[in-house]
Amino acid sequence: MIVAIAASAPAAQSKNLKNMKRISFFSITLLVALNLFAKEFYVGPGPDAHERLQEALILMEEGDTLIIKGGYYEFEDGLSLDVDNVTVMGEGMDSTILDFKNQQSGAQGLLVTSDKVTLRDFSILDAKGDALKVIGAKGINMINLKTEWTGGPKSTNGAYGFYPVESEDVLIDGCVAIGASDAGIYVGQSKNIIVRNSVAQYNVAGIEIENSYYADVYNNLASHNTGGILVFDLPDLPQQGGHHIRVFDNKSIDNDTDNFAPEGNIVGEVPRGTGIIIMANSDVEIFNNVMSGNGTVNLSIVSYGDETEDPNYYPHPKNIQVHGNTYGPSGFDPDLDTGDLAKALYDISGGNMPDIFWDGIVPFSQIILGQPDEEKLVIDEDNASFLTIKPIKYMLGFSNPTNTNKNDFSGEIVPLRAISIETF
């Protein structure tokens, strides 16, 4: 129904105006009341700090703020939060330090299972499992936080530093992640995501977006990881078909840490010295990044190669756009001992490793008939070497089954839209 307010009689207009004023007055009154009743909790270091902090996390109500005073906190148990629309803040990531090195219980340092939560300005060290896990949140802000395993890269470190999953409107801003045995900053099975202004170092994967929709990853530094930035889509998960991911204005440089993932982990296949990997995602735009100092390859675009019985899974990347990036040295120290990527690329290239590698694998029907235009890889780069495999020649054992002419993949760049998330 369309109501033509402009056609109302003067009396009706006056009545509508009065109702609008009443609604506005009520809304303002409600906001003021909420602010008046909102509380601030303070917790400081000292005896029973865990009990006092966990009690405060339980007693908080919507609109409240918990301030964790500067100091060093040593915990033997994990923490949890399940209250909507609250803020938990420290006095700086180098001032408020939550240390879990003696953790005896709990699968993570801090678990959040509520909506519209802001966490900021503190550190989580040496968690038994994941440092900060968020499940099913509709609105989560992680700002100026740090997660670290201080003993250096080890397979016994927790898997994830920042670990929001199955969530919406995810913001990770100004954070630092060090030493995770899977990914320092990971967002999985989520949508509407921004990861920006953050640093990921000495992790297996620095930053990973997995099985997610609508993400912007920008202004980050990923260095001294095994692999800098990963955009993956995997089978056998409730949310698949990752798409609409923009990776831009990042530095993925000097990723030179040997892979220390526990055996059986998918990122255990990532070779040391990888800048950016795109695997099995659709609608990905990679632009204005710096990729340099990556001993295996700066940029890889690949299909998922393992067997799967998931009938809904599509293992091939499509509509990947690469443009305006800066490439420095790469391929000078390929990791031939980890996974198949580096070994295959080294053999196919004769050791002349390219800046950009596409494995060329597409469905069999597309091998015969060609890819649809809307699914093709598009490259617009001036100073980057390139290599892809010609599937038919490769399968038939031809001596030179590769294509190094990136001009064959030129085309119109159609920018993806910027991501916006709900603020609170």
Give the pLDDT confidence of 392-416 residue by residue, as tens digits.
666 666 667 899 999 999 999 999 9
CA atoms of 141 and 423, how far apart (whole Å): 9
- Which residues have a Cβ under 8 Å from the Cβ of 311 and sit 6 or more positions away? none
Quote the tokens at residue 149: 């395993």
Which pLDDT belongs to residue 35? 52
pLDDT of residue 112: 98
Sequence-ordered list of residues with C-beta below 8 angstroms from that of 324, at least 6 positions apart, any chain:
287, 288, 380, 381
8 A C-beta contact, residue 200 and residue 179: no
Mean pLDDT per 10-residue section of the chain, whose length is 424 residues: 29 42 44 64 96 97 98 97 98 98 94 98 98 98 98 97 98 98 98 98 98 98 98 97 98 98 94 98 98 98 94 96 98 96 92 96 88 95 94 66 93 97 90
The rounded distance, in Å, linking the Cα atoms of 147 and 206 is: 12
Residues 6+ apart with CB under 8 A from 205: 180, 182, 183, 184, 186, 225, 226, 227, 229, 230, 267, 270
Task: Give the pLDDT of residue 368.
Answer: 84
Sheet holding 160-165, edge to edge: 77-81, 105-112, 130-135, 160-165, 183-188, 205-210, 227-232, 274-279, 297-302, 356-358, 386-389, 402-403
Name the residue among 245, 204, 249 with its Cα closest to residue 224.
204
Contact 84, 136 (CB under 8 A): no
Show Cβ contacts of residue 74 under 8 Å, excluding neighbours closer than 6 positions: 49, 99, 101, 102
DSSP 267: G
- Max distance between CA atoms of the chain, in angstroms, equals 87
| C-alpha pair distances (Å), 301 with each of 142, 197, 239, 293 | 29, 24, 21, 18
Residues in contact with 307: Cβ distance below 8 Å, sequence separation at least 6, in sequence order: none
Evaluate whether 170 touches 135 at the Cβ level (below 8 Å): no
Q: What's residue 20's pLDDT?
A: 42
The yes or no reply on domain 129-409 and CATH 2.160.20 is: yes
Provide the β-strand partners of residue 323.
Answer: 287, 380
pLDDT at 3: 23
Structural tokens at position 100 = 């879990």
The H helix count followed by the E strand count for the chain is: 5, 34
Say if residues 118 and 143 touch (Cβ distance below 8 Å): yes
Asked whether the beta carbons of 274 and 294 are under 8 A apart, the reply is yes
SS3 414: coil
Q: Pick the closest to residue 414 from 386, 372, 375 (CA basis).
A: 375
Q: How much is the pLDDT for 395?
A: 63
